Amino acid sequence: MTRAQQTISLALLVSSLYLVLFLELIPLPPVIQQDIIPVLPFWSLVSFGAWLLARLGWGMLTFRDTPDAYAELMEEIKLAKEDLRTKGVDVD
């Protein structure tokens, strides 16, 4: 199964489960049914965004911990600056 098929299958499974809970096909206590189930999509969206921001922040924080990638990026920046200087663009 390809990655896209796995993602689509998981999305269909999760949306089907949410629809079953939202339409009250599985009996739950009224507090859960009225207060929690309707806001689950918003909660999951906010949680996913927070997780992505945390991963981005952690990646930026530990960027210098990968010396090879850091050295490669610095070399590419140096080459780009030299190329721009030959074309008459003022950098720095």
Query: pLDDT of 44-90, one tens digit each?
Result: 999 999 999 999 999 888 877 778 888 999 999 999 999 999 998 98
CA–CA gap between residue 24 and residue 20 (Å, rounded): 6
pTM for the full predicted model: 0.60
Straight-line distance from the first to the last Cα atom of the chain, in angstroms, rounded to the nearest whole number: 50
> Residue 17 pLDDT > 90, yes or no?
yes
Q: What is the pLDDT of residue 77?
A: 95
Q: What is the pLDDT of residues 27-49, one digit of tens each?
A: 999 999 999 999 999 999 999 99
Residue count of the chain: 92
**Sign of the alpha-carbon dihedral angle for 43, 44, 46, 51:** positive
CA–CA gap between residue 38 and residue 43 (Å, rounded): 10
Domain ranges, ordered by start, for the chain: 3-87
